[in-house]
Amino acid sequence: MRTTCFALIASIALAACNDSTGTTTGAATRVLVLNTFGQTGVTRLSVDALAATHIDFGSSFDGATFTVLNDSVLSASSSFSGDQLYIASLGASTVTRYQLPAGSNPAGVAFVPTGIGGAANGRYIAALRNTGSLAQVKVQSGAATIVTTIDHAGTCPTDVAFYNGSAWVSDANQRCSSDFAVQGPGRIIRVSLADATRDTVVLGAAAIAPQRIIMIDQFAYVFSSGDFFSVPASVTKVNVSTKQTLSIVSMPAGVYGVTMTKGEDGRLYLSVAPNPAPGGVYSPRVYVIEPSTMTTVPPYFGSERFRPLTKQDGTLARCSAATADAAGKIFCVENGLTTSTLLLFTAAGTLITSAASGTIASDVTLR
């Protein structure tokens, strides 16, 4: 047990030193879990002590993803919970809400990079699914917060990331305000914050309903959930400099996408789940993709290509979201009916430890 704890502490410390945000704080290294139902908010885990603290977002929060930069956590509630941007301060353990356009149905959020007047100046951006636009929020100390919308950001913008001064939006291209009917292949759209220029890259018929976009250098990695019927989840790699689709990795047939994160090892961690059979259990699995080659990374579970993340009782973990540290150790959040558990695995899939991570969770990251 002592050996396990030591290994865990070592891995966390290593993760801290390789924090992609460049904001390592040594002993402050933590796992952050987004609790999206119940006692909502952010649960911070000091995994070495297996202890958790919680910043409560209140009963009107239902965000599914979050973005973390330095000391700030960014997320948004949907139109079913009031269309609000949530900014939590990890240092002060506080949360502030900002009103986004009513009925706009926010999804993915991002910090506007410093280079274009971003986070240092309190600028944030949110993808608004129901209005096909982005909301730009400028929080000013001592002055009123300014919320402006940027139109023509797609049929159903779901996430946003920045490259070279422009926002790149993943567009699910669905009727997100009503029946989610697919209107065509997924797209990513370059949205200039300075003018009305747009560039659209169509991802192809194998990329249905993009949900997340992660930028690594000039490449955008777009995670699509699929349509639950004929098109499975996929990841598409796009060179945003040339605006060309380079490659796509599709998940097995009958599998839909839950979410995707970027690990500190630079790899993409996909949570995808097969449609449950009658009486079956929702069982999302983790696929690891090397972005440079767009190939899945072993070890695999039998003939499948997902990681064999095996719990103590011998069953496979059901990871609603997963990420990894620089050493490839995998942090997975598994949901019960009301609570979630953080499971830490070796890269090979052996359970190292676990800890309660609050109520139902939908995202995880390292800080």
Partner 1 sequence: MTSIVAVVALAVLQHAPVHGVVRDAATGAPVAWSEIWTRGASTRSDDDGRFAIEVARGDSIHARRVGYRATVTLVTADSVTLLLEPSAAPLREIVSDGAVAASTMSAMRRVASLRESGATTLADALTRLPFVSSRSSRGGVALSMRGSRPEQVLVLLDGVPLNDPATGSADISDIPLAALASVAALPGASGARWGSGASGGVLALSTADASSATLIAGSYGRVSASVAGRATLGSARVHGGAEWGTASNEFPFVNSVASPSVSETRVGADEHHLALFGGMSAPSLGATLLVTRNERGLVGPMNVRIYDGARGRADRALARVTGERATWTASAALRVLDVRYDNPGVASSRTTSSSVDADLARDAARITWRAGGGVDWVHGSALISMQRPRVFASAERGWEHGAWLVSLAARADAVRDASAALSPSLTIERRDAVTLFVRAAQAFRAPTFYDLYFASPQFVNGARTLRPERVQFDGELGARTVAHAVTASASLFARRTRDAIVWFPGTFSWSPNNVGRETVLGGEGRAMLSLPFGSLEAWGGARTTRLFVDGLDAPTPYVPWLDGGALATVRRGPLAVVATLIALGPRPVVTVPHPTSAVELPAVAVVDLAATIASPINRVAATLAVHDVANTRWQSIARYPMPGRTLSASLTFTP
Closest CB 280 distance from partner 1, rounded Å: 9
Range 189-218, binding partner 1 (CB under 8 A): none
Q: Interacting stretch for partner 1, rule CB under 8 A, among 43-51, 52-60, 205-213, 343-351?
A: 52-60
Q: Check binding of 179 to partner 1 (CB under 8 A).
A: yes
> Which amino acid, residue 344?
L
**Binding footprint of partner 1, residue count (CB under 8 A):** 38
Q: Which of 121, 86, 107, 99 is nearest to 193 (CA)?
A: 121
Among residues 220 and 321, whose Cβ is nearest to partner 1?
321
Q: In what order do the strands lie in the sheet with 285-290?
A: 255-262, 268-274, 285-290, 295-296
Q: Check binding of 136 to partner 1 (CB under 8 A).
A: no
Q: Which of 57, 51, 23 is nearest to 360 (CA)?
A: 57
**Interface mask toward partner 1 for 306-335; x: CB under 8 A:** --------------x---------------
Closest CB 276 distance from partner 1, rounded Å: 8
Q: Interacting stretch for partner 1, rule CB under 8 A, among 26-34, 57-65, 260-268, 324-332?
A: 57-65
7, 14, 50, 82: which one binds partner 1 (CB under 8 A) = 82
29, 65, 75, 105: which one binds partner 1 (CB under 8 A) = 105
Q: Check binding of 114 to partner 1 (CB under 8 A).
A: no
Closest CB 13 distance from partner 1, rounded Å: 31
Contact residues for 37 (Cβ-Cβ < 8 A; gap 6+): 62, 359, 360
Among residues 24 and 89, whose Cβ is nearest to partner 1?
89
Q: Which of 69, 361, 259 is nearest to 343 (CA)?
A: 361
Q: Are 254 and 273 in contact (CB under 8 A)?
A: no
7, 18, 25, 98: which one binds partner 1 (CB under 8 A) = 98
Q: Are 270 and 233 in contact (CB under 8 A)?
A: yes
Structure-token match 């790149």, residue found:
168
Q: Residue 242's CB: how many other CB atoms inside 10 A? A: 10
59, 94, 241, 244: which one binds partner 1 (CB under 8 A) = 59
Q: Check binding of 132 to partner 1 (CB under 8 A).
A: no
Q: In what order do the strands lie in the sheet with 244-250?
A: 210-216, 219-224, 234-239, 244-250
Closest CB 20 distance from partner 1, rounded Å: 27
29, 84, 170, 261: which one binds partner 1 (CB under 8 A) = 84
154, 210, 284, 328: which one binds partner 1 (CB under 8 A) = 284
Q: In sequence order, what are the beta bridge partners of 138?
A: 123, 146
Distance CA 21, CA 70 (A): 7
Q: Check binding of 81 to partner 1 (CB under 8 A).
A: yes
Q: Which of 231, 218, 219 is nearest to 182 (CA)?
A: 231
Contact residues for 340 (Cβ-Cβ < 8 A; gap 6+): 33, 35, 320, 333, 334, 356, 357, 358, 359, 360, 361
Q: Which residues bind partner 1 (CB under 8 A)?
A: 37-39, 56, 58-60, 79-84, 96-99, 102-103, 105, 130, 177-179, 258, 273, 277-279, 282, 284, 320, 336-339, 359-360
